Amino acid sequence: MRSDFLPFSKPSISEDDINAVNKVLRSGWITTGPKVSEFEKMFCDFIGCREAVALTSATAGLHLILKALDIGPGDEVITPSLTWVSTINMIVLCGATPIFVDVDKDTLMITAENIEKVISEKTKLIIPVHYTGAPADMKPISLVSKSKKIPVIWDAAHAAGTMYNGKFVGSEGTSIFSFHPIKNITTGEGGMICSDDEELICKIRRLKFHGLGTDAYDRKIQGRSPQAQVIEPGYKYNMTDISAVLGIQQLVKLEMFNKKRTIIAEEYLDKFSDIDEIVPLSYPASISIKHSWHLFVVRLNVESDMTRDMFMYKLKEKNIGTGIHFLPVHQQKYYAETLSSKNIILPNTEWNGDRILSLPLFPDMTHRDIDDVVETIKDILK
């Protein structure tokens, strides 16, 4: 058994990153300023999108988009239940109703076919997830969106560096990225909205900072004009320069990080190929993709009565950390009690919800770490 605990995720922060943050701290300007503008521009250039707005989190981005699209009581938003809770929380906090769509059993992503089935007159938005860093099959979903005139917001929290048919996720349409410490690059906490919709971006820029027509920082005048007035009541979701400088440092290394993640994931896939009880995910067929390997999710498929939770506990006892991405939202206490459950039929979501776990995967993992995970799993399954 290994002597130290192996977490399922760990950010890669270098001395250079720390020094860069230090410099901002000493500069006299630590909130939204030149580093935020630079990070937004770099992210835009990297992804190949028209506009990018840096925020305090992806959740903040979701909230702003729902508000900018004027989604509220009486409106329905289509989303998977197998996603991070923040999407559903934001929909509900806006007064709208989440409409859950089942996922494909092996990619764990929602499909155009299932989306189409639940579209109603009340549907105002579709939020698919690029789950674990593979892209959702975007083309058929975009076609449904166009033909029904319902916008799509891509949850790209897992998908920094993911490609779909030769283009980066985020380069077209509107997408939200997250820079939470477990994500492929981090700013401590943070998020980015990428969009080619200038009108939407204009509203987002206003709503992210009190509804004033401006940021805290204006490059020309070194500080917001004291005369700036509220155009509409807004929020306080602007990223700080302390976070943005870390983002700049990390973005330069994103492709290197993802390459390391890919090597680890491929080694896992190879080593698990002869272990029947460990079932990795598959990716949408018939499209060309580049996986960013945000997570390595497997399904525990055993004949014995060992549950996934017991299996995770046994791994923890052997100093191997794991996570669950995600517990289906419709089964969580508040939502199980408040949503009318008779309409919620999500067999693939529930089957996977009982079996998925995320194994350790982060750029600084060693071959030794991978062996520890695989050998410990084999031991427990024996």
Ligand X SMILES: *Cc1c(COP(=O)(O)O)cnc(C)c1O
Of 21, 40, 57, 79, the one binding ligand X (CB under 6 A) is: 57
Q: Are the beta carbons of 300 and 277 closer than 8 angstroms? A: yes
203 binds ligand X (CB under 6 A): no
Q: Which is nearer to ligand X, 180 or 205 (CB)?
A: 180
Beta strand 123-126 with 289-290 is unpaired
Write down how long the chain is: 382
Q: Does 79 bind ligand X (CB under 6 A)?
A: no
Q: Give the nearer residue to ligand X in terms of CB position, either 356 or 377.
A: 356
Give the number of other Cβ atoms within 10 Å of residue 283's Cβ: 16
53-61, 93-101, 226-234, 244-252 -> range binding ligand X (CB under 6 A)? 53-61
Minimum separation from the CB atom of position 86 to ligand X (A) = 5
250-309 residues in contact with ligand X (CB under 6 A) are none
Q: Rounded to the nearest whole angstrom, what is the least distance from the CB of residue 292 to ligand X in the complex?
A: 12
**Closer Cβ to ligand X, 86 or 162, answer by number:** 86
- In the three-class reduction of DSSP (H, G, I as helix; E, B as strand; rest coil), residue 288 is classed as coil
Whether 290 contacts 163, CB under 8 Å: yes
Of 57-65, 268-276, 352-360, 363-371, the segment contacting ligand X by CB under 6 A is 57-65
Binding of ligand X at residue 129 (CB under 6 A)?
yes
Is residue 187 part of the contact set for ligand X (CB under 6 A)?
no
Region near ligand X per CB under 6 A, out of 78-86, 102-110, 281-289, 363-371 = 78-86
Distances, alpha carbon 237 to alpha carbons 63, 155, 188, 206, 222, in Å:
10, 18, 14, 10, 20
Q: Where do we find the tokens 């897992």? A: 158
φ/ψ of 286, rounded to 5, equals 65, 15
Report the residue from 133, 191, 328, 363 that binds ligand X according to the rule CB under 6 A.
191
Residue of 79, 271, 84, 39 whose CA lies nearest to 183: 84
The residues assigned a catalytic role are 183
Residue from 32, 79, 83, 114 touching ligand X (CB under 6 A): that is: 83
List the one residue from 65, 101, 157, 361 that touches ligand X (CB under 6 A): 157
Considering only 30-38, 42-50, 56-64, 374-382, which stretch makes contact with ligand X by CB under 6 A?
56-64
Nearby residues of 274 by Cβ (< 8 Å), 6 or more positions away: none
- Does residue 226 sit in helix, strand or coil? coil
* DSSP state for residue 191 in the 8-state scheme: E
For 124, the enclosing helix (H) or strand (E) is strand 123-126
- 3 state DSSP class of 40: helix
- Tokens matching residue 158: 């897992």
Q: In this complex, which beta carbon is closest to ligand X, that of residue 12 or of residue 319?
A: 12
**Among residues 292 and 376, whose Cβ is nearest to ligand X?**
292
Q: Return the H-helix or E-strand segment holding 379.
A: helix 367-381
Q: In terms of CB distance, is 107 or 178 closer to ligand X?
A: 178
Residues of this chain that interact with ligand X (CB under 6 A) are: 57-59, 83-84, 86-87, 129, 155, 157-158, 178, 180, 191
